[in-house]
Structure 1
């Protein structure tokens, strides 16, 4: 259990105490954590402590391993931010077509005219929160 505040020093103290209790100081290779700044600061404290004791392989260069899912989420969020204007235009277009029966009929007419009947139907308006 981590007492407040949840800062790097408190985290470091809990981690180092646990590592020592479990006799893992000379067996530790890496920590898998997300990119939260408090985690990075804690790992830096841990790295220095274990380096000074001479028990850390390759000087702790691989001690902080970022969670792949967290890194992937950051990449996806950046990509979504880039395409957000395009997605919003598609949403507006679908709402525009769906807002009138005449527009829906014209849209379906164009689909037939372009020979796209097997692939496309009337545009659906998504739920933006999903």
Structure 2
């Protein structure tokens, strides 16, 4: 698990640093995640300076955040009564929205993936493809395959495929 801190310095500049890179053994239950985060905050001496925490939306992390919020609430150090303490990760929310949109185009996406795999799996096919691309004076040399779990990767595959 990577713990990253964001803060505003005395010059009002937004700063960011990796605070800790820790192995959390499986299964990663909420209590283990809570202990890991709290230990990191204590080591850095910032356990009473936390305004908000952003994590992806999983039950184990939600449990860890609840435990942290309860712990910090005891010292009455949470701003706005802790209403802003847990913020969903914007990147994950965006990823979920886009993945949901991709589910609407699942057939098209699969056809493009199959086409990319077909063209890239044999050197002969790839050489023929490159030759045709060169003859048509198109930019690029080959089709890009996506990583199914990353929407920006699928978008990249689509963008590349559209060129060809």
Change (3 A) 1:82 1:22: same
Structure 1 unaligned spans of 5+: 96-125
Report 1:18-37 matches (<5 A).
18-37=40-59
Aligned to 1:43: 65
Q: CA RMSD in A?
A: 2.7
Partner of 1:14: 36
Tell me the TM-score normalised to structure 2 length.
0.49
Superimposed CA distance per residue, residues 33-85 of structure 1 (whole angstroms, 9 cap, x where no aligned partner)? 11122111110110011011211111222222222111111001111112335
Q: Which has the larger radius of gyration?
A: 1
Secondary structure at the counterpart of residue 65 of structure 1: strand
Larger proportion of strand: 2
Highest RCO, 1 vs 2 (Cα 8 Å, sep ≥ 6)? 1
| C-alpha contact (below 8 Å) 1:30/1:62 kept by paired residues | yes
Higher relative helix content? 1
Shift of 1:128: 8.3
1:82 aligns with 2:104: yes
Structure 1 residue ranges, 4+ long, deviating more than 3 angstroms after superposition: 126-130
